[in-house]
Amino acid sequence: YMYVMRCSVEDGAFTRGELSRYGNIELSPSSGVLNYGQGLFEGMKAYRRVGRAGYTLFRPEENARRMQHGADRMCMPAPSVDQFVDAVKHTVLANARWVPPQGKGALYIRPLLIGSGPILGLAPAPEYTFLVYAAPVGNYFKEGLAPINLVVEDGVHRAMPGGTGGVKTITNYAPVIKAQMDAKSKGFTDVLYLDAIHKRYLEEVSSCNVFIVKGRVIATPATRGTILPGITRKSIIELATDRGYKVEERPVTVDDLIDADEVFCTGTAVVVAPVATVTVEGQRYSFRTGPDTVSQELYTTLTSIQMGLAEDSKGWTVAV
């Protein structure tokens, strides 16, 4: 099933949505999304709860607010936080039979906001569609926490200052498909992008944020409009600080990376992924992975909360 809700700019707000069978939707050839890329999405997961009926969402209001922020940048109306979270809950319940068993994965949820109304000249579309669909996903890594191998890309950039790198618009992704495919064909897991101006500061990976560890200090690139402010990133910063690490959000250079003990990525899909190697200008650098690492510690801390194995003292989980 999918959940669909519509809004015309004239009415100003999204009206009550409804569930329908998952299937094609009708779009005008002159819709804002098809012609000018007016589209935003979110990515979330619902986990089966441990020892109880029902499912768990992780900080869904954060996804709702991120979509609102993106909608502002893209000149689109957005559903309210309540409408967003309600739509997600309805989608989870309607697709409950597809939620994998505990420990075997999650139901991936994809909220999508598009300019569905017709517009010929460059301007915001007159109508918008918000829809939520879902699909079961296995654990990102079948064998527990499998380390990944990244390659630093200095010829292709994800985002420019003043652009849309800080919001989750659909148009951020098409330009990096080629770089990602090229990296995969050379045996890398993914690409680590650099900033477009100095070409020496780390930004992020195609769909996750990056952290480096040196002793008890953890650093991650500061978000200055060119990096997606990940909800996993924000949660890991808080959990690592609670556990006594010093966490710095600052510009992180390629030299800082090379000098690091550990490197890891965070995102809804990967959760926390240790990085085994990063290749920079043909030179391969290795980092610590395995049981006694900071990434393993933070992975366990976060997933225990997400799956209901540890007490959720921060109130991050929402039961469905």
Catalytic residue numbers? 168
**Contact region for ligand PMP (CB under 6 A) — 131-139, 223-231, 255-263, 304-312?**
223-231
- Binding residues for ligand PMP restricted to 116-155, rule: CB under 6 A: none
Q: Give the total of residues touching ligand PMP (CB under 6 A).
A: 13
Single out the residue of 204, 273, 276, 288 in contact with ligand PMP (rule: CB under 6 A): 204
Give the nearer residue to ligand PMP in terms of CB position, either 221 or 308. 221
**Contact region for ligand PMP (CB under 6 A) — 48-56, 204-212, 241-249, 296-304?**
204-212
Does residue number 169 form part of the binding site for ligand PMP (CB under 6 A)? no
**Contact region for ligand PMP (CB under 6 A) — 9-17, 226-234, 250-258, 308-316?**
226-234
Single out the residue of 169, 209, 220, 317 in contact with ligand PMP (rule: CB under 6 A): 209
Min dist CB 295 to ligand PMP, Å, is 15
Give the nearer residue to ligand PMP in terms of CB position, either 7 or 275. 275
Min dist CB 259 to ligand PMP, Å, is 23
Contact string (CB under 6 A) for ligand PMP, positions 228-247, x = contact? x-xxxx--------------
Cβ-based neighbour number of residue 182 at 10 Å: 14
Contact 125, 42 (CB under 8 A): no
Residue 218: beta bridge partners?
A: 213, 247
Contact string (CB under 6 A) for ligand PMP, positions 26-55, x = contact? -----------------x------------
- Binding residues for ligand PMP restricted to 264-283, rule: CB under 6 A: 266-268
Residue 248: beta bridge partners?
A: 219
Does residue number 208 form part of the binding site for ligand PMP (CB under 6 A)? yes
Residues that bind ligand PMP (CB under 6 A): 43, 204, 207-209, 228, 230-233, 266-268
